[in-house]
A = this chain, B = another copy of it.
Amino acid sequence: MTYCLGIHTRHGLVMASDSRTNAGYDQVNVTRKMHTFVLPGERAFVLLCSGSLSLTQSIITLLGRDFDLGKGLASVANMYDAAREIGEQVRRVSEMDRAALERDEVRFNVHFLLGGQIAGQPPDLYLVYPQGNPLRATEDSPFLQIGEVKYGRPILVRGIRYQETPLDEAAKYALISIDSTMRSNVTVGPPIDICIYQRDELDIVHRRRLTDKDPDLIQIHEQWEQTLRKGVTELPPIDFETFGQKK
């Protein structure tokens, strides 16, 4: 499995992904699911992927080949077209592999998150479905997730606000969200790749890879657990005795 998320606020983007891949339960590996395409000062994209590693690798390879030739992501006019470009490569690999996979009852199941900015335009965040169509994050729904999305969602719902949340806080929410997911689904695992993209930066410079032994991650994990436990003890008591009367 996989868990990746992107957060879009008025200050920019936070993109984060786990690194565990598995083929069945007995073949587990580490792979980077965060890929960047940058022309500094002109355009910067961060791409996160979930689904069959063979398929996402193919799609990233095709995107990278075009990018190096100044095509595709290197030349699209805006973020919508960039998301459409991801979708085009998804469909291209679907053409190549889908029939053979489905013959053996393997689903064609890849999802992408694309965050980035092109000079002179605002940053944007998209999810690209296995069918190639894009979905955009909005001010009301300022984060998008792919993979194992449920465990890590409540903390984002409660915390992320497009207008208010600073990027450094959004990054902490992202780490807590991934940490929560890793504790419940063993097929989501470290290291965590995370990057902050500040609006108009037009380069990817604030990155970090956190292993499970990273002291910062351990501290966040432990302090967060203490915060939750203390917070629960401080909640007002629930009066059960008065149930009969209150009804």
Contact = CB atoms under 8 A, between A and B. Distances in A.
A208 B153 contact: no
A155 interface: yes
Contacts of A180: 154
Q: How many copies of this kind of chain does the complex include?
A: 2
Interface string A82-123: 000000000000000000000000000000000000000000
Contact of A168 (B169, B207, B237): B237
A7 to B, nearest CB: 13
Contacts of A208: 238-240, 243, 246
- Which interface class (under 10, 10 to 19, 20 to 34, 35 or more) fits A? 35 or more
Contact of A238 (B150, B175, B240): B175
A54 interface: no
User: Chain A contact residues: over half helix, strand or loop, or mixed?
Assistant: helix
Nearest to A219: B236
B158 A228 contact: yes
A239 B168 CA distance: 9
B223 A236 contact: yes
Contacts of A184: 150, 153-154, 157
Nearest to A241: B206
Nearest to A225: B158
A172 interface: yes
A151 interface: yes
A22 to B, nearest CB: 19
27 contacts: A151-B153, A153-B184, A154-B154, A154-B180, A154-B183, A155-B228, A158-B225, A159-B232, A169-B233, A171-B240, A172-B235, A173-B232, A195-B240, A196-B240, A206-B240, A206-B243, A207-B240, A207-B243, A208-B238, A209-B247, A216-B238, A216-B239, A223-B234, A224-B235, A227-B231, A227-B234, A228-B231
Interface of A: 150-155, 157-159, 168-169, 171-173, 175-176, 180-181, 183-184, 194-196, 206-209, 216, 219-220, 223-225, 227-229, 231-241, 243, 246-247
